[in-house]
């Protein structure tokens, strides 16, 4: 296995399909910011994310310059596209299509991974893991063909099985290429942040210009830039270094906790933020209603909490500036409910710029050592 390598073009193509799935999850929430809709969206997003992570682990063992792995991933891309197109109707008329596509993609993953590690020391552990993966997939499959009111319980059970399987897998060693694994997740984060930029673009196009509108648009653009900075300034590089330094079972455990698990709420946070941003830009001159206000602020809180967990796992130190930012954002959501959307956006932007700016200054010396 190569010590360092970059993501291949076919992997990036594969990622785009899942990002399309993320946009479909956002579309399923838009205009329906209630707990029932958010819960269903969270389950669908978890299943999508789970499928993506399994192929990301697999890719560390594959050489996509070879024809067979490339064809397999392209077939998985086609199946994942069908899966993504059924996202909005997953708890409705498209439940069977979603379930069949999910089962097919996960079955392909098991076959693909097994073919790559056949005859190696990894086989013993994967033969224990694979039935658990398929058990979750079978629950999704059954759920797609039962009535809509009980479908959710089958899919919740599938999510639980998947999580338990992931927690149990740490007893076995699953080698990865650290640089490739970190890069794949970083690229996914970049593409998902593009969802927030699209939300700003949608909010800007066709709107009549006003002082509040331009203030709100500028604040939102700066906020997305700060979100990018918060991940890629030092956290990404520290994570890659920590992953390279870890060995054996410890490496797999870190990859599972900091990447496969901690990145899920990060992606969910971006989705919520994007939905809230669209509402903020649509009516910058009035106060946001409760649901979109907490989608906007809550999305950022979830995003920062995810990064704080990653920072703790990578460095064993607490990211105090991020915790302060989370506290200030929560207070802003509670105390500034009557503020116009434009001014709330400015306050939120200033909180992030200030706290994460202080953090960046504090990490300058550590960053110089990483270069």
Number of C-alpha atoms within 13 angstroms, CB side, residue 34? 4
Lookup: tokens for 264? 């899920």
DSSP output for 308-336: HHHHHHHHSS--HHHHHHHHHHHHHHHH-
**Mean pLDDT computed over 295-311:** 96
The three-state secondary structure class of 56 is helix
DSSP 171: G
245/353 Cα distance (integer angstroms): 31
Amino acid 123: pLDDT: 82
Amino acid 176: pLDDT: 84
How does residue 106 score in pLDDT terms, banded at 50, 70 and 90? very high
92/11 Cα distance (integer angstroms): 31
pLDDT > 60? residue 132:
yes
pLDDT > 90? residue 265:
yes
pLDDT > 70? residue 366:
no
How does residue 172 score in pLDDT terms, banded at 50, 70 and 90? low
Q: What is the pLDDT of residues 305-358, one digit of tens each?
A: 999 999 999 999 888 999 999 999 999 999 999 999 999 999 999 999 999 999
Percent of the chain with pLDDT over 70: 94
Q: Which of 220, 208, 209, 241 is nearest to 314 (CA)?
A: 241
Amino acid 209: pLDDT: 66
pLDDT > 60? residue 371:
no
305/110 Cα distance (integer angstroms): 32
Q: Which of 61, 110, 105 is nearest to 86 (CA)?
A: 105
How does residue 205 score in pLDDT terms, banded at 50, 70 and 90? low
How does residue 1 score in pLDDT terms, banded at 50, 70 and 90? very low
Q: Please report, for the chain, the start and end positions of each structural domain, with discontinuous segments joined by +.
A: 9-171, 178-370
How does residue 207 score in pLDDT terms, banded at 50, 70 and 90? low
- What is the phi/psi pair of residue 87, to 5°? -60, -50
Percent of the chain with pLDDT over 90: 66
Lookup result for tokens 């993609």? 105
How does residue 208 score in pLDDT terms, banded at 50, 70 and 90? low
- 99 or 247, which is more confident: 99
Amino acid 206: pLDDT: 62
Q: Which residues are CB-contacts of 152 (< 8 A; sequence separation ≥ 6)?
A: 39, 40, 43, 91, 143
Q: Where are the alpha helices (DSSP H) in the chain?
A: 9-29, 35-59, 67-85, 95-117, 123-143, 148-168, 178-204, 211-232, 235-245, 248-254, 263-282, 290-315, 320-335, 341-362, 364-370
Q: What is the pLDDT of residues 113-131, one digit of tens each?
A: 999 888 777 787 788 888 9
First-last CA distance in the chain: 25
| Cβ burial, residue 211 (10 Å; 0-12/13-18/19+) | exposed
Lookup: tokens for 33? 């910011």
Mean pLDDT of the chain: 90
């Amino acid at each position: 296995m190569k010590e360092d390598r970059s993501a291949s073009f076919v992997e990036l193509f594969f990622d785009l399909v899942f990002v399309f799935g993320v946009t479909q999850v956002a579309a399923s929430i838009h205009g329906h910011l209630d707990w029932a809709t958010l819960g269903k969206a969270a389950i669908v997003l978890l299943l999508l994310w789970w499928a993506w992570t399994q192929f990301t682990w697999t890719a560390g063992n594959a050489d996509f310059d070879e024809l067979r792995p490339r064809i397999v991933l392209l077939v998985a891309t086609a199946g994942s596209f069908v899966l993504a197109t059924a996202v909005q109707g997953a708890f409705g008329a498209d439940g069977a299509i979603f379930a069949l596509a999910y089962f097919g993609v996960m079955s392909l993953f098991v076959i693909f991974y097994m073919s790559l590690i056949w005859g190696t020391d990894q086989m013993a552990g994967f033969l224990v893991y694979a039935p658990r993966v398929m058990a979750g997939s079978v629950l999704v499959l059954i759920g797609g063909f039962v009535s809509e009111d009980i479908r959710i319980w089958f899919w919740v059970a599938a999510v639980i099985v998947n999580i338990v399987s992931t927690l149990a897998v740490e007893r076995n060693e699953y080698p990865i290429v650290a640089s490739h694994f970190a890069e794949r997740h970083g690229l996914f984060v970049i593409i998902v942040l593009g969802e927030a930029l699209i939300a700003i673009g949608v909010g800007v196009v066709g709107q009549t210009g006003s002082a509040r509108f331009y203030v709100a648009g500028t604040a939102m653009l700066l906020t997305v830039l700060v979100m990018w900075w918060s991940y890629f300034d030092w956290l990404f590089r520290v994570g890659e270094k920590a992953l390279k330094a870890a060995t054996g079972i410890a490496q797999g455990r870190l990859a599972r906790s900091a990447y496969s698990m901690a990145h899920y709420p990060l992606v969910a946070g971006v989705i919520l933020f994007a939905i809230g941003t669209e509402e903020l830009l649509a009516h910058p001159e009035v106060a946001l209603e409760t649901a979109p206000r907490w989608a906007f602020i809550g999305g950022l809180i979830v995003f920062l909490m995810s990064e704080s967990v990653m920072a703790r796992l990578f460095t064993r130190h607490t990211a105090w500036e991020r915790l302060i930012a989370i506290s200030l954002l929560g207070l802003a959501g509670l105390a500034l409910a009557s503020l116009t959307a434009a001014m709330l956006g400015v306050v939120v932007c200033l909180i992030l710029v200030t706290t994460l700016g202080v953090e960046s200054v504090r990490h300058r010396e550590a960053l110089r050592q990483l270069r």
